[in-house]
Amino acid sequence: MRALVIGASGFVGRHLVAHLREIGDEVVAIDRASGGPDICDAYAITAHVHAARADVVYQLAGQSDVGRSWTDVIGTYRANVEGLVNVLAAARAADVQRVVAVLSADVYGRVAESELPLNEDTPFRPISPYAASKAAADLVCLQAFLGYGLHVIRARPFTHIGPGQGPGFVASAIASRVAAAERDGGDTVAVGTLTTRRDFTDVRDVVRAYRLLAEHGAPGEAYNICSGTEVSVQFVADTLTGLARRPLRLEQDPALSRPADVPILRGDPARIHELTGWKAEIPIISTLTDLLDDWRERINRY
């Protein structure tokens, strides 16, 4: 299969490109950070999609930082909605067979525990501007299928973590502070809200799911990508400090808490599992160990 990965140099994009090449797919990788087009430039995106001659397009590009979305609402909507519209239009024009659009489980928003686990029919109740932009993008994909017949698959990943993730995401942020404390001889690690519970999945499991959806996903359908279990941020922080090479204690910093946050998210992966057999395989302890080791390497480069 010949694949075009848009957003290839990002956290997930790098893992996806590596996985596709490992299984023998031919990959064309583009990313703005590596000199590729801005997805908000419709002409440039159309030219790149035509030139790629891909069987499948993976659309990963966009603004993925929930915290940043509160201060850059317009930029978030432009990247996540207008950018996606441009990619889908380019795919239609180039007669691409399939598009895997990476959306987000943040669209489900604030839910009662009685509603868990969340399936793909759970109503959208976005809280952050990021989540609202992804809800709009999800509907853009559905319209492209219903209105134009574009074979677009809607992937809704829950929180995914792993080596290579930037410091703007909770597990990676804590891991970076643990690694810095080890290097600098510190004895505290700053944290925000610890009671939040999330369905964490290793990014390496997530990209396997994307490839399976590219081959087997039903056009127009939505698929949760998740483990089906949730753990608290407290557990993540305790695990990472427990892996530290020196005694560390957590220190709460209110400035690290978001203006509004979803207390709990746990998904139901039954749909993708029944279709492809996919399930999350990498234990969270292994993921957090790899994430901390990765941050140790990064911290020591500076």
160-189 pLDDT, tens digit per residue, is 999 999 998 999 999 999 999 999 999 999
Q: How far apart are CA 84 and CA 80, in angstroms?
A: 6
Closest to 127 measured CA to CA, from 104, 105, 110, 103 = 110
Query: Residue 34's pLDDT is what?
Result: 82
SS3 assignment, position 117: coil
pLDDT bin (cut points 50, 70, 90) of residue 257 is confident
Q: How far apart are CA 131 and CA 133, in angstroms?
A: 5
The token pair at 177 is: 């502070």
Residue 147 has pLDDT above 70, yes or no: yes
What percent of the chain has a predicted confidence (pLDDT) above 90?
Answer: 92
Average pLDDT, the chain: 96
Q: Scan for tokens 């999945």, then name that residue.
A: 201
The token pair at 271 is: 């749909």
Helix (H) or strand (E) segment spanning residue 232: strand 231-232
Kindly give the residue spans of alpha helices, DSSP state H, lying in 53-159.
66-69, 73-77, 83-93, 129-148
DSSP 224: E
Query: Residue 301's pLDDT is what?
Result: 79
Residue 238 has pLDDT above 90, yes or no: yes
> What is the CA angle 91-97-102, rounded to 5?
65
Query: Residue 302's pLDDT is what?
Result: 64
Instruction: Give, in order, the Cα–Cα distances in Å from 31 to each of 17, 26, 50, 157, 230.
Output: 12, 17, 16, 21, 32
Find out whether 209 and 142 touch, Cβ atoms under 8 Å. no
pLDDT bin (cut points 50, 70, 90) of residue 51 is very high
Domain boundaries, the chain: 2-161+200-225, 170-196+231-266+282-299
User: Is domain 2-161+200-225 annotated with CATH 3.40.50.720?
Assistant: yes
The token pair at 106 is: 């943040």
Query: Residue 262's pLDDT is what?
Result: 81
Residue 234 has pLDDT above 80, yes or no: yes
pLDDT bin (cut points 50, 70, 90) of residue 300 is confident
pLDDT bin (cut points 50, 70, 90) of residue 268 is very high
Q: Do the domains 170-196+231-266+282-299 and 2-161+200-225 match in fold?
A: no
User: Mean pLDDT, to the nearest integer, of 56-69?
Assistant: 95
- Tens-place pLDDT, residues 77-92: 999 999 999 999 999 9
* Neighbour-count burial of 25, counting CB atoms closer than 10 A to its CB (0-12 exposed, 13-18 middle, 19+ buried): middle
pLDDT bin (cut points 50, 70, 90) of residue 140 is very high
Fold of 170-196+231-266+282-299: UDP-galactose 4-epimerase; domain 1 (3.90.25)
Q: How far apart are CA 175 and CA 167, in angstroms?
A: 8
